[in-house]
Amino acid sequence: MTDDPASLDLSATEMRAMADATVARVLAHIASLPDQPAIGDYEDVVARCRALREPPPEAPTPFEALLEQVFDVCVPCSYTTSGPGYLAYIPGGGVFPAALADLIQDVTNRFTGIWHPAPLLVQLEANVLEWLTTLMGFPPSTRGMFGTGGSAANFSAIVCAREQRLGPAIRDGVMYASTQVHHSVVKSARLAGIAADRLRVLPVDEGFRLQVPALAEAIRADRRRGLRPFLVVTSAGTTNTGAVDPLEVVADLCAAEGLWHHVDGAYGAFFHLCEETRPALRGLPRADSLTLDPHKGLCLPYGTGALLVRDGAALRAVHAVAAGYLPPQGDDDVYDPSQYSPDLSRGAPGLRVWLCLKVFGLARYRAALREKHELATYAASRLAQLPGMTLVAPPVLSLLAFQLAPPGAPREESTRATRELAQRLLARRRIFLSGATADDGRFLARICILSFRTRRPQIDLCLHEIEEVSAEILRERG
Ligand X SMILES: *Cc1c(COP(=O)(O)O)cnc(C)c1O
Among 36, 105, 112, 151, binds ligand X (CB under 6 A): 151
Torsions phi, psi for 306 (to 5 deg): -145, 155
Where would I find the beta strands (DSSP E) of 179-324? 199-202, 228-235, 260-265, 289-292, 305-309
Q: Which is nearer to ligand X, 82 or 235 (CB)?
A: 235
Q: Which is nearer to ligand X, 218 or 300 (CB)?
A: 300
Burial class (CB in 10 A: 0-12, 13-18, 19+), 306: buried
Q: Which is nearer to ligand X, 125 or 264 (CB)?
A: 264
Among 125, 293, 336, 420, binds ligand X (CB under 6 A): 293
Q: Which is nearer to ligand X, 228 or 272 (CB)?
A: 272
Q: Does 264 bind ligand X (CB under 6 A)?
A: yes
The distance of closest approach from Cβ of residue 109 to ligand X in the complex, given in angstroms and rounded to an integer, is 25
Scan residues 188-227 and list those touching ligand X (CB under 6 A): none
- Report the SS3 class of residue 325: coil
The DSSP bridge pattern shows strands 289-292 and 305-309 to be antiparallel
Q: Does 184 bind ligand X (CB under 6 A)?
A: yes
DSSP 206: T
Q: Does 182 bind ligand X (CB under 6 A)?
A: yes
The distance of closest approach from Cβ of residue 397 to ligand X in the complex, given in angstroms and rounded to an integer, is 11
> Which secondary-structure segment (H or E) carries 124?
helix 119-135
Q: Does 297 bind ligand X (CB under 6 A)?
A: no
Q: Does 267 bind ligand X (CB under 6 A)?
A: yes
Q: Does 114 bind ligand X (CB under 6 A)?
A: no
* Binding range to ligand X, per CB under 6 A, among 6-14, 57-65, 144-152, 457-465: 144-152
Where would I find the beta strands (DSSP E) of 236-364? 260-265, 289-292, 305-309
Q: Does 434 bind ligand X (CB under 6 A)?
A: no
Q: Which is nearer to ligand X, 181 or 251 (CB)?
A: 181
Query: What radius of gyration, in Å, describes the C-alpha atoms of the chain?
Result: 24
Nearest to 250 by CA among 289, 194, 211, 206: 211
Q: Does 341 bind ligand X (CB under 6 A)?
A: no
Q: Does 150 bind ligand X (CB under 6 A)?
A: yes
CA gap 126, 389 in Å, rounded: 47
CA gap 404, 466 in Å, rounded: 10
CA gap 367, 279 in Å, rounded: 17
Q: Which is nearer to ligand X, 298 or 405 (CB)?
A: 298
Scan residues 60-89 and list those touching ligand X (CB under 6 A): none
The distance of closest approach from Cβ of residue 147 to ligand X in the complex, given in angstroms and rounded to an integer, is 9
Instruction: List Cα–Cα distances, 139 to 133, 251, 310, in angstroms.
Output: 7, 16, 7
* Binding range to ligand X, per CB under 6 A, among 24-32, 113-121, 157-165, 262-270: 262-270
Q: Does 266 bind ligand X (CB under 6 A)?
A: yes
CA gap 158, 302 in Å, rounded: 22
Q: Which is nearer to ligand X, 415 or 434 (CB)?
A: 434
- Can you spell out the DSSP letters for 56-103? ---S---HHHHHHIIIIIITTSSB-TTSTTB-SSS-----HHHHHHHH
- Report the SS3 class of residue 79: strand
The distance of closest approach from Cβ of residue 91 to ligand X in the complex, given in angstroms and rounded to an integer, is 11
Decide: 205 and 56 in contact? Cβ < 8 Å.
no
How many of the chain's residues bind ligand X (CB under 6 A)?
13
Q: Does 93 bind ligand X (CB under 6 A)?
A: no
Torsion region of 250: left, alpha or beta (phi above 0 gives left; psi -120 to 50 gives alpha): alpha
Among 294, 305, 347, 435, binds ligand X (CB under 6 A): 305
Decide: 448 and 88 in contact? Cβ < 8 Å.
yes
The distance of closest approach from Cβ of residue 16 to ligand X in the complex, given in angstroms and rounded to an integer, is 35
Nearest to 400 by CA among 366, 376, 436, 433: 376
Q: Does 90 bind ligand X (CB under 6 A)?
A: yes
* Binding range to ligand X, per CB under 6 A, among 65-73, 145-153, 165-173, 461-469: 145-153
Q: Does 180 bind ligand X (CB under 6 A)?
A: no
Instruction: List Cα–Cα distances, 179 to 205, 296, 441, 448, 468, in angstroms.
Output: 11, 22, 12, 20, 34
Among 85, 113, 144, 149, binds ligand X (CB under 6 A): 149
Other CB atoms within a 10 A radius of the CB of residue 322 amount to 7
Q: Does 349 bind ligand X (CB under 6 A)?
A: no
Q: Does 351 bind ligand X (CB under 6 A)?
A: no
Scan residues 228-257 and list those touching ligand X (CB under 6 A): 235, 239
Where along the sequence are the contacts to ligand X (CB under 6 A)?
90, 149-151, 182, 184, 235, 239, 264, 266-267, 293, 305
